[in-house]
A and B are shown apart, each in its own frame.
Chain A
């Protein structure tokens, strides 16, 4: 609960707000802007980028389910 006022939480809140605002803008842009689907497609476009994303997925899974409470 104390994390609600620490500096790091403020940055996370700003990032979350930025993501929310951007998703709202994308929803209103009627396809003129690059949406999340195209970003995912870009990441899956080559072995290198797909491997990087898969490595991040693996690291996140290990950290969340084997190291975090």
Chain B
């Protein structure tokens, strides 16, 4: 409850800031540092798999794709194409900096130029960050 009120207050305050303001800069930078710090603290000994095991499992899944259900293979391919397509096209648009190649943030800028849009998007960004930091944690080993 207190956390939700804090997020709302922070988002309402952030809504009135501009991209150039020092308040926007230090608050976003501070939240990023807090996010990474919280991920380290919350995740200590509670990450479900080690990176080595995660990589090994994925390599094994790719190597044995013929034995997997067709629905799983098709799903994985579609997700890879969609996520890879968005990331790749955004990078291409960003690198060329052309009027003919708007980046994803160009469209998001149409929302964040308004205080309401900026505030709502900031609240969503905070929510996503909190989820990425805290979700899918294993039980702490006894």
Contact = CB atoms under 8 A, between A and B. Distances in A.
Interface of A: 2-3, 6-9, 11-12, 15, 18-19, 22, 29, 32-34, 39-41, 44-51, 53-54, 57-58, 60-69
Given A15-B89, A33-B71, A50-B43, A57 B129 contact: yes
Nearest to A3: B102
A62 B104 contact: no
Contacts of A3: 102, 106-107
Given A34-B71, A50-B39, A57-B129, 6 more contacts: A33-B72, A49-B54, A54-B36, A57-B128, A66-B24, A68-B109
B19 A65 contact: yes
Chain B interface residue count: which class? 35 or more
Contact of A15 (B55, B71, B86, B122): B86
A48 B135 CA distance: 15
Contacts of B75: 33-34
